[in-house]
Amino acid sequence: MWNLKRRRGFSLIELLIVIAIILIIITIALPRLTRARMYTQEVASIAAIRTIHTAQTQYYSQFSRYATSLAEIGPPASGSPNASAADMIGNDLANGKKQGYVFTVTGNQGGYIVQAMPEVFNTGGSRTFYSDQTMVVHEHYGPEPATAQDPESK
């Protein structure tokens, strides 16, 4: 009947077993990969906040006040840098979005506030961040905006 020496290839059952094993491995690894990507984006947003602090310090030394928006420390649309577009941060951060986070800078009495929120909560990040001219970054676990009362980021 069947000559086992002439049999070549895999049976359908063997292929289904291999596919099932691959799917099990993927279902175990995918949540970890998602968490690792979110953590990377959160760390990148903290680095972007520190970049904004550096730009604000430079802006203050040149114009004797803090910038009240990201556009003021961003690149000019045309011409040379000035107080309304000082060219101290990149265009992506000046537009307010970078690596899954939305950044805002607002001016206040003698200082500024930096907020960072994930574009899509629990996909781009699970934390929100707050900082001001003290350069201390505060974090909040949840979709609500972080405040100065939240714990410091580690």
Instruction: Tell me the per-residue pLDDT of 101-151, one tens digit each, with 9 for 90 and over.
Output: 999 999 888 899 999 999 999 888 999 999 999 999 999 999 999 999 999
Closest to 69 (Cα-Cα) out of 85, 92, 90, 81: 85
Give the per-residue pLDDT at 3. 59
Q: What phi and psi, each to the nearest 5 degrees, are found at residue 56? A: -65, -40
Q: What is the pTM of this model?
A: 0.81
Q: What phi and psi, each to the nearest 5 degrees, are found at residue 117? A: -130, 140
- Torsion, Cα 10 16 18 19, to 10 degrees, reads 130
45-100 residue pLDDT tens: 999 999 999 999 999 999 999 999 999 999 998 889 998 999 999 999 999 999 99
Instruction: Characterise 70 by phi-psi region: left (phi > 0), alpha (psi -120 to 50), beta (else).
Output: alpha
Pairing of the two strands 127-132 and 111-118: antiparallel
